[in-house]
Amino acid sequence: MKVLLIDDHPLILAALRHVIEALGELVSVIAVDHAEAARAALKSQTDLDLVLLDLHLGEVSGFDLLDEFHADYPALPIVVISASEQAADVMRAIDHGAMGFVPKRSGTELLTEALQLVLAGGIYVPPLGFLPQQATPAPAKPVLPGLTPRQNAVLALLLQGKPNKIIARELDIAVDTVKDHVAAVLKLLGVSTRTQAVLAVGQLAQGKSAAP
């Protein structure tokens, strides 16, 4: 597994690198401390499995980089690492394509859990107020009553943060058809955005796991 770590704080960069390398013997970490080095690494390292991105790099907005990297490498999971724990930042990061948001004060165990979940195709959000109180799973084949099999397939890809064009390509359907299916999913869940859909599915999954 190869991970790109982007953070401009030397101590945090070293600590995160240690945690990631502890995930397994075959883990390789490329650590950079500014945007240009990150862009160069993404171009040269075509076999990356994960990107960890600090929201505050000094010379550039982490959200701008998130938008850029998600647009250029839509299949590459990106996890935001931030000192912020504001719900607005979490929602914004997930809404812009991040597969996870991990506060920097999180312990090693939580960070490891979050990264493993994202690598397995899930989305991680921290326990912040109205947000789910644990990892938000993105099952390979989520099944929600009231959705057609095709709509559930669209939901599975939506939970992975994939844009409509990628969903259309993977399911071999028209982009307009994807939009119709996404609209049906949002209506069933009673939400208006993809981010709210991710959180709603996470809450439903947690409710089922808590049931006797």
DSSP per-residue codes, 116-167: HHHHTT-BB----TTS-SS-B---SS---TTS-HHHHHHHHHHTTT--HHHH
pLDDT of residue 202: 64
Give the chain's domains with CATH numbers: 2-119 (3.40.50.2300), 149-210 (1.10.10.10)
pLDDT confidence tier of residue 23, bands split at 50, 70 and 90? confident
- In degrees, rounded to 5, the angle at the alpha carbon of residue 118 between the alpha carbons of residues 136 and 182 is 60
pLDDT of residue 161: 67
C-alpha 78/C-alpha 95 separation (Å) is 12
| Chain segment 142-181, per-residue pLDDT in tens | 567 888 989 988 988 887 767 788 889 999 999 999 999 9
pLDDT of residue 64: 92
Asked if 86 contacts 65 with a C-beta cutoff of 8 angstroms, the reply is no
pLDDT confidence tier of residue 141, bands split at 50, 70 and 90? low
DSSP 5-31: EE-S-HHHHHHHHHHHHTT-TT-EEEE
| Chain segment 80-111, per-residue pLDDT in tens | 998 887 777 887 888 888 888 888 888 788 88
Asked if 12 contacts 104 with a C-beta cutoff of 8 angstroms, the reply is yes
pLDDT of residue 204: 65
